[in-house]
Amino acid sequence: MGNKPPIILHKSQHPTMSVILILLLASISVAALFLGAFLWSVKTGQYNDEISPPLRILLETPISPEPPVQQVTTSNNISKQHTQPTTKTTN
């Protein structure tokens, strides 16, 4: 049982550890950025629409603030815009 030679690390093994640390810091930074964006959106009320989702399933047509506009061509080739009347059905 003689003397064992000391384990010598190659110089190429040291940079890999620094790359791992850089990637770890970058991923934590990106995660913190997304968490901050999410908390900001909750704080400013981006998710406060509590009326539309339950009503959307009951309506056949999508909810829109204005009636749809159709282009109608007359006999003398002049385009006119007509709005569809909104009809409400009661059940």
d(CA 58, CA 49): 16
Residue 86 contacts residue 67 (beta carbons within 8 Å): yes
State residue 47's pLDDT score: 85
Radius of gyration of the chain measured on its C-alpha atoms: 32
DSSP state of 76: T
Over residues 80-91, the pLDDT tens digits come to 555 555 565 565
Global pTM?
0.42
User: Average pLDDT, stretch 23-39?
Assistant: 97
Look at the block and give the residue holding tokens 């629409």.
49
CA 62 to each of CA 11, 47, 52, 59, 85: distance values in angstroms, whole numbers, following the listed order: 65, 20, 10, 7, 15
